[in-house]
Structure 1
Amino acid sequence: MDFQQMQERARRVRARYAEVEASAYGRSWTDEEIMLGFLGDVGDLAKLVQGKAGVRPREDLDEALAHELADCLWSVLTLADAYGVDLAGAFTTTMDELEESLAEPGA
């Protein structure tokens, strides 16, 4: 799946979530609420990273880590879409800038 397909699929899942939220709560989540959900996912991811370091072991660690990384990616894709950010373009530009700064003497 290429980046554009991932973005489109994230968009479809977000639209479905909005329908479920509207049915359950009378409205869909705001961008701010999506961000708060992302923060919760990052917290869950941090616990799984601790698990990989041996601090919080669990049997399904690799599967849970993959799932949480995908959840976080979905949130990033969804927030980028909500704010009109060309994430593929921004990623390319940012990586170019980072590589350039790392190539400088003393970096």
Structure 2
Amino acid sequence: MEITAATAKATSLAALFDRLNEANGQNAWSGLDLALGFVGDVGDLVRQVQVAENIRTYPGGREALEHELADCLWSVLMLADRYDVDLAAAFEKTTTQLEARVSAKLAALAETETAASSIAE
């Protein structure tokens, strides 16, 4: 699923949650509520990663891990939508910057190793 389609599906689900909250006399989620929900989802994800790494036991297995990853993605998509962030563009920009930074550090390390090797000879 493309990011645009995933965002559309996420916002459609958010609208259903808003309707449910309204029917229960509660407010629609604010950006802060989305962020707090995301933090909770990350905690749930960490627990499932611990299960996958055989550090702890907890019900759910692989299906629970998939669910928590999807919950986290939903939260990220909703936060990006809420704050009008072009997530695909931001991801491209950030990963390009990180690739350049890491490549420069690796090149500097290689240069240091080459210089150290020349001195040792």
Provide the C-alpha distance between the structure 2 equivalents of 1:14 and 1:25, rounded to a whole number of angstroms. 16
Query: Which segment is superposed worse, 24-33 or 93-102?
Result: 24-33
In 2 relative to 1, CA 62–106 (structure 1 residues): closer, same or farther, beyond 3 Å? farther
Alignment of 1:40-79 (within 5 A): 40-58=40-58, 60-79=60-79
1:24 corresponding residue in structure 2: 24
Superposition deviation, residue 59 in structure 1 = 5.5
Provide the C-alpha distance between the structure 2 equivalents of 1:17 and 1:59, rounded to a whole number of angstroms. 26
Superposition deviation, residue 87 in structure 1 = 0.4
Alignment RMSD: 1.4
2:36 corresponding residue in structure 1: 36
Cα deviation code 1:34-77 (max 9, x no counterpart): 11111111111111111112122245311100010000000000
2:112 corresponding residue in structure 1: none
Please report the TM-score for the alignment, with normalisation by the length of structure 2: 0.82
Runs of 4+ in 1 over 6 A off after TM superposition: none
Larger radius of gyration: 2
Provide the C-alpha distance between the structure 2 equivalents of 1:59 and 1:43, rounded to a whole number of angstroms. 15
**What are structure 1's unaligned runs of at least 5 residues?**
none
The aligned length equals 107
**What are structure 2's unaligned runs of at least 5 residues?**
110-121
